[in-house]
Amino acid sequence: MIGVYDSGYGGLTVLRHIRRLLPERSTCYLGDSGRAPYGGRDVHTILDFAEQAVERLFDEGCHLVVVACHTVSCVGLRHLQQRYARPDSDCRVLGVAIPAAEIATRTSRGRIGLLATETTVASGTYMTEVAKLGSHTVVSRAAGLLAPLIEEGWEDTELARDALRRYLADLPDIDTLLLGCTHYPLLHAALADVVPSEITVLDPAPFVAERLADWLRRHPGFDTIAAPPVHRMLCTGDPSRFARHGRRFLGQPLPTVEAIAEVGGRLALRRSDRTPMGQIVR
């Protein structure tokens, strides 16, 4: 079973391509929607959340976890790999930042614009990874308002278009715009109206799925294949809200969403019918 982890809904856009490209594989998605957004949090809090999420997916039987969150991939992937993907371990953790940098340098003629969260931009990871691959220039813009707009379902509104115009207004001449947050593909209609046609708007999610498929081909037998495949969905927020909004990101109805919550520093399954209401005293 392949685990896919994101701070909320956005990683479902990556899961969509993984399931399309690898329909025979079982998946377990964990969306930390109850603690999102990650983009403005301090790095150590992000690492704590990421450890809990990855460990939950390992507990669910996943030996391979894809960190679909650009923020976590940019600041915490190496930490997660060193902690869990040791040579003596049968667990592996992959991210989205390196595949995204690869497809961006392959697509761009030399000038890449990056639209991402504040933490992703501040990490400098994309500049570092692109510099390893070529002489491209990377110009970054932190766009903290976009993910909340999308989660409200306002991605195809004039408000979203105005926000994009403001974020992109002072970008120097670029030929490729890399979407460095998994929420942003839902802005495709607004981006088509705002971004000049000569600029390639690049969603790296399909390439991330391709790189995952290639990794599995190079590591045969690493992930067992169930017949038929099983797809599970976990979230730390409200499961009904996650199912309702998640459909827009996945492009189809979600399987039953199971609630998880932090208990003693770990994420544990929580009975949704026991969710307390009203005034709570502990």
Active site residues: 69, 181
Distances (CA, A) of 80 to 5, 54, 77, 85, 106: 12, 8, 5, 7, 27
End-to-end CA distance of the chain: 37
Distance separating alpha carbons of residues 44 and 210, to the nearest angstrom: 31
Residue given tokens 């997916």 in the structure block:
57
CB 272 within 8 A of CB 248: no
- Which of 71, 40, 104 has its CA nearest to residue 183? 71
Distance separating alpha carbons of residues 53 and 127, to the nearest angstrom: 27
CB atoms within 10 A of CB 54: 25
Distances (CA, A) of 105 to 101, 128, 131, 136, 137: 6, 12, 9, 7, 10
